[in-house]
Amino acid sequence: MKKKAAGKFQLDCSVNGARVRREIAASRTMLEFLREDLGLKGTKEGCGEGECGACLILLDGRAVNSCLMMAAQAHGREIVTIEGIKGRDGGLHPIQKTFMEEGAVQCGFCIPGIIVAAEALLRRKPDATLEDIKLELTGNLCRCTGYEKILSAVELSRDELKKKGKR
Amino acid sequence: MRPELLVRPASLADLWKALPALPRDRRYLAGGTDLMIAAGHGHAGDCWVDISGLKELKSFRETSSSIFIGSGLTIAELAEKPAVKKWLPALALCAPHYASPSLRNMATIGGNAANGSPCADGVCALLSEKAEIVLGLKGAKRKMPLHSFFLAPKRTALKKDELILGFEVPKWRHVSAYEKLGPRSYFGISKVTVCVSAEISGGLVKEAVIACASVAPVPLLARKAAEFLYGRRLDEGTVSEAAALAESEASPITDTRSEAGYRKAMVRVLASRALSKLAA
């Protein structure tokens, strides 16, 4: 039983490749843990109810809504946030570059979640079709762009990643 | 409000041992996609028992006559299993319409039933596939048809501390159709869903199960419509008569998601669409 004093939880997990061991408030959500305890502010809180996808992170490689997850549930597991999505040289990831080149970002609030979703999809399905991309992004809301540029940026990222074997 | 206390047992044995010492008002936390939202709207227990790490609830077993699905499997994990595609076509068809990809990575099939909602997508699919639900409390296990598990909106047969261990679904040679109406094509809570599973042999219906969501206080089996289909060919007349029977069995209400009259009418439309797909 992983429990310490009432109200506390001894968390041991991996965040962006580094091992994190700390005592946290048991009532912490994963989103609060990342933003407030670890200072990783790239993960956003939009709706707080799993509708908008701004808070997506990778949990053992799968995209999940960090607002609906308790931090304690990550015990023994691997978390990757938008800060951990990088190119091989440690700079921007090809998906991030393509989003910039395509002008797929306006206010930017939803983009970390969308890039996490796109990364999860392209890792799993490097040949994803436009239809696959649309379906993968059903849980991500953007109120600025109208989605067209986001969809074409993900398609271009897919081509770029395949062409150059940039993983 | 999220509780101050969260415990994370390492095994089922560990869980049963820990319960007596915990506050009485306790809830199980699995995928969290319903419980976390409930906690955002009000009190949701003094203690959460996190069962999301329990390997025992993630089992998936296939025998010669049935498939056992552990309650802790997520919708995404289930959708990827070849045995689900082969033996549980309704569940496979339902998966893309179940919330969003990231929520499918979190939400468990056990949680979908435990939440007790008449609109649960996974429950509707499993109902049409003749699933039984397996419950456990300490050493004791019991099993019942999935439809008897639901007593009223948000009320199930679960006793205090009882846990859904999984679902047992018989292997039968059926085809399925899943028709859901939501506010948009994907990622919406259902206004009406009709899921039909049927075994068709020599062009005649040998057996059919019609499950409907969001049109009664509990997930509904349209039994009259299903019985009517027995031994018949799925021609236009049969489809339309069965669809009308299904409509007569629905007793929807008007709520934030849809209106009673519309829901009732749509049961007929969706049942007719589903049966026509099976006929094709």
Same domain, B62 and B114: yes
pLDDT category of residue A5 using cuts at 50, 70 and 90: low
Residue the block writes with tokens 């979703």: A117
* Single residue among B170, B194, B215 that ends a domain in this structure: B170
Mean predicted confidence (pLDDT) in B72-90? 98
Q: Judge contact between A66 and A45, C-beta under 8 A.
A: no
State yes or no: ipTM above 0.85: yes
Look at residue B17 in the predicted model and tell me its pLDDT. Answer: 97
Q: Does residue A56 belong to the interface with chain B, where contact is any CB pair within 8 Å? A: yes
Which domain CATH number covers B258?
A: 3.30.390.50
Task: Give the C-alpha separation, B125 to A54, whole Å.
Answer: 30
- Span B23-65, pLDDT tens digits: 999 999 999 999 999 999 999 999 999 999 999 999 999 999 9
Percent of chain A surpassing pLDDT 90: 92
Of residues B212 and A4, more confidence is placed in B212
CA distance to A83, B82, B94, per residue, from B36 (Å): 25, 31, 23
Q: Residue B22's closest chain A neighbor by CA?
A: A6
Same domain, B115 and B218: no
Q: Residue B6's closest chain A neighbor by CA?
A: A26
Look at residue B135 in the predicted model and tell me its pLDDT. Answer: 98
* Single residue among B125, B153, B170 that ends a domain in this structure: B170
Q: Shortest CA distance to B144 belongs to which of B112, B113, B108?
A: B113
Give the number of domains in chain B. 3
Task: Give the C-alpha separation, B270 to B123, whole Å.
Answer: 17
- Span B134-182, pLDDT tens digits: 999 998 999 999 999 999 999 999 999 999 999 999 999 999 999 999 9
The reply to whether residue B106 touches residue A68, judged by beta carbons under 8 angstroms, is: yes
Same domain, B158 and B120: yes
Mean predicted confidence (pLDDT) in A44-48? 97
* Single residue among B146, B170, B194 that ends a domain in this structure: B170
How close does chain A come to B191, measured CA to CA in Å?
Answer: 17
Same domain, B159 and B69: yes
Look at residue A6 in the predicted model and tell me its pLDDT. Answer: 67
Query: Residue A62's Cα: distance from chain center in Å?
Result: 9
Domains (range + CATH), chain A: 8-84 (3.10.20.30), 94-164 (1.10.150.120)
The reply to whether residue A62 touches residue B105, judged by beta carbons under 8 angstroms, is: yes
Q: Is A8 helix (H, G, I), strand (E, B) or coil?
A: strand
Which domain CATH number covers B113?
A: 3.30.465.10
How close does chain A come to B54, measured CA to CA in Å?
Answer: 11
- Span B187-211, pLDDT tens digits: 999 999 999 999 999 999 999 999 9
- Span A86-136, pLDDT tens digits: 999 999 999 999 999 999 999 999 999 999 999 999 999 999 999 999 999
How close does chain B come to A102, measured CA to CA in Å?
Answer: 25
Residue A165 pLDDT > 90, yes or no? no
Look at residue A167 in the predicted model and tell me its pLDDT. Answer: 62
Same domain, B45 and B93: no
Mean predicted confidence (pLDDT) in B106-110? 98
Residue B183 pLDDT > 60, yes or no? yes
Tell me the pLDDT of chain A averaged across its residues.
94
Question: What's the domain range around B151?
Answer: 57-170
Same domain, B227 and B253: yes
- Span B219-270, pLDDT tens digits: 999 999 999 999 999 999 999 999 999 999 999 999 999 999 999 999 999 9
Find the farthest-apart pair of alpha carbons in chain A and give their distance in angstroms, rounded.
53
pLDDT category of residue A1 using cuts at 50, 70 and 90: low
Mean predicted confidence (pLDDT) in A76-89? 96
Tell me the pLDDT of chain B averaged across its residues.
97
The reply to whether residue B186 touches residue A9, judged by beta carbons under 8 angstroms, is: no
Look at residue B280 in the predicted model and tell me its pLDDT. Answer: 84
The reply to whether residue B102 touches residue A73, judged by beta carbons under 8 angstroms, is: no
pLDDT category of residue A4 using cuts at 50, 70 and 90: very low
Same domain, B63 and B158: yes
Q: What residues of B are in the A interface, CB distance below 8 Å?
A: 2-10, 14, 18, 29, 32-33, 36-37, 40, 48, 50, 52-53, 76, 96, 99-103, 105-106, 186-187
Q: Which DSSP string do the residues of B120-181 spell out, in sequence order? A: -HHHHHHHHTT-EEEEEETTEEEEEEGGGGEEETTEESPPTT-EEEEEEEE----EEEEEEE
Same domain, B84 and B159: yes
Percent of chain B surpassing pLDDT 90: 99
Same domain, B96 and B141: yes
Look at residue A164 in the predicted model and tell me its pLDDT. Answer: 73
Residue the block writes with tokens 């019609």: B210
pLDDT category of residue A166 using cuts at 50, 70 and 90: low
The reply to whether residue A70 touches residue B102, judged by beta carbons under 8 angstroms, is: no
Q: Does residue A69 belong to the interface with chain B, where contact is any CB pair within 8 Å? A: yes
